[in-house]
Amino acid sequence: MQVVSFRTLAGVGVIFLVGVSLCFIVLPEAFRVFQLSLQKSAIMKDQDVSDIITPLDEPQPLNKTASSCSPKSEEQAILQEWDSSHFLQGPPTKQFRENLRDDTFYITAWSNSGFTNQFMGYVNMIYLGMISDRVPIIPPFGPHHISYDSGSLRFSHVFNLTRARRALKRPLLEWHELKEEDSPTSLSEPLPEDREPLGCWSARHEGNPTPIRVKSVIDHLKLDTSYTRVPSNTRHFPDEKTTDFLVFNQLVPYVFPRHPWRPPSSFPLMEASPLGQRLPPDEQLSCFDFLYYVTSSRELFEWQYSWSPAWRLVATHLRFTDELVDQAQSYLRRAFQVTDGTPPFIAVHMRRGDFGQQCRDGRTSKECFVPLENYRKAVESMQQELREKKGMDVKDVVLMSDEQDGKFWDETKKLGWARLDHHKEQTVEKYGEWYPLLLDNIAQSLAAGFVGTGDSTYSLLSARRVEDWNDGPTFMVQRFLGARSLYYEDDGEP
């Protein structure tokens, strides 16, 4: 990775200099002289001309840059520098292994939870790749809290990877760029002979005898995975055998390319693959069954804290694709009953559903939910804050909730709050089960201010987006469970 990025950087540098020279030496005559002198020095050094003009591995897409002098071409060069093609042998192959480059090390991870927590796990994987010099390969999202036949969903369908690569100045590969797939959504079980063996790490603690096997993703990628448990000193509490959390920097020595702390094969196998292979964790492609529970500091559930490196260095750069943003905008316009331009608005996310069953003091689910009044007060003070700090008069409020009870929605309507009504919009019928969640997520990220529900990772991510992307105020309405709640819950959403 170090080598590759240095080379590509040098490559862009050279091409850029050539480009700049060409801007000055515009005459074709001068160009010929330039080429001739290159050839001459090539002959002098007894090298092939092409070796000198293209001394790097991947100059192909860059010659556009050299021939045009507009400022835009520099930008294009940066984009292309991180293009996936530089980090693979070529187009997708039948077996992923054929497509890995000998000089590059990779990382990947699966995830078996709801959409938000899958996202967090994949981002943690990308961050671990950054600090261990490995190129991340992002799998699709699996349909884990929606019907299985919703199929898998490409990460790049939701997040703009072109933009993220440029912001991160790093490659971000997707599995479909590496390995042929039946279709972007296929979850059909491959024939045993079509499965490709791979040895992975399991992040599960000693209290769990087996790794997490993520059928959706593993079938989609046609893999057959065996697992080895990560060493216990990668844990946040190495002496406690039943805590989930791992520490990013403690994992690095075990996955670092070429010279890890110990060879992965020196650790005992946790579980053979379904087809019986017993591979140790792969050295070229580090993979993990899931990476949701990872922190860099003393705190668990670190994503909620200002310093979270996974948020600051990765997730905040993962913007939604233009197409989905446009779609969310038009849903919002219909919700606010306006025709052109979405007005500035406050988004409220109320997580109810299973949050009603989590009180530890015997309250019924209705009593366990945070009262609507608490959200109303939060919205009111946010309106005031927006007026005072930003001179914005924000009247429009949109509410997203998993509540099914019509009476609840009648009450919120009385407050004048709008709603993205996926039932009325027939979102599922038109676009499938992934969409209500995606559109809600994106709509929330467009808000001038955000009011969410404590302990919901779904709320947490929207809050962080509104803060970073819109410089907007955010507030989490806290739950009272009868005892301090310790855990962020899997949001149960797709």
Ligand X SMILES: *[C@@H]1O[C@H](CO)[C@@H](O)[C@H](O)[C@H]1NC(C)=O
Binding site for ligand X (CB under 6 A): 61, 63-64, 160, 162-163, 321-322
Q: How far is the CB of 64 from ligand X (least distance, A)?
A: 5
Q: How far is the CB of 165 from ligand X (least distance, A)?
A: 10
Q: How far is the CB of 9 from ligand X (least distance, A)?
A: 20
| The residue type at 257 | P
| CB of 86 or CB of 204, closer to ligand X | 86
Q: How far is the CB of 438 from ligand X (least distance, A)?
A: 14
DSSP string covering 227-285, please? EEEPPGGGBSSTT-TT---EEHHHHHHHH-SSS-SS-GGGSPEEE--TT---PPPPSSE
| CB of 182 or CB of 322, closer to ligand X | 322
| CB of 82 or CB of 110, closer to ligand X | 82
| CB of 74 or CB of 98, closer to ligand X | 74
- The token pair at 154 is 């490409």
- Scan for tokens 């010099």, then name that residue: 133
* Residue 108 near residue 285, CB atoms below 8 Å: yes
316/107 Cα distance (integer angstroms)? 20
44/39 Cα distance (integer angstroms)? 9
Sign of the dihedral through C-alpha 269, 273, 277, 282:
negative
| CB of 206 or CB of 322, closer to ligand X | 322
Q: In sequence order, what E strands does 116-257 have?
A: 135-138, 173-174, 196-202, 223-229, 246-247
Q: How far is the CB of 31 from ligand X (least distance, A)?
A: 13
456/462 Cα distance (integer angstroms)? 10
Using CA atoms, how far residue 216 sits from 153, 287, 479, in Å, is 11, 16, 33
- The token pair at 268 is 């005992």
| CB of 159 or CB of 290, closer to ligand X | 159
| CB of 61 or CB of 92, closer to ligand X | 61
Q: Which of 270, 298, 318 is nearest to 127 (CA)?
A: 318
DSSP class of residue 206 equals: T
Q: How far is the CB of 35 from ligand X (least distance, A)?
A: 11
296/302 Cα distance (integer angstroms)? 8
Q: How far is the CB of 50 from ligand X (least distance, A)?
A: 9
Burial class from Cβ neighbours inside 10 Å (0-12, 13-18, 19+) for residue 70 reads exposed
Q: How far is the CB of 172 from ligand X (least distance, A)?
A: 13
Q: How far is the CB of 61 from ligand X (least distance, A)?
A: 6
| CB of 163 or CB of 215, closer to ligand X | 163
Torsion of Cα atoms, 374 then 379 then 383 then 385, to 10°: 60
468 CB-near residues (< 8 Å, 6+ apart): 316
Q: How far is the CB of 171 from ligand X (least distance, A)?
A: 16
Q: Which of 322, 345, 320, 494 is nearest to 419 (CA)?
A: 345
| CB of 160 or CB of 273, closer to ligand X | 160
| CB of 162 or CB of 404, closer to ligand X | 162
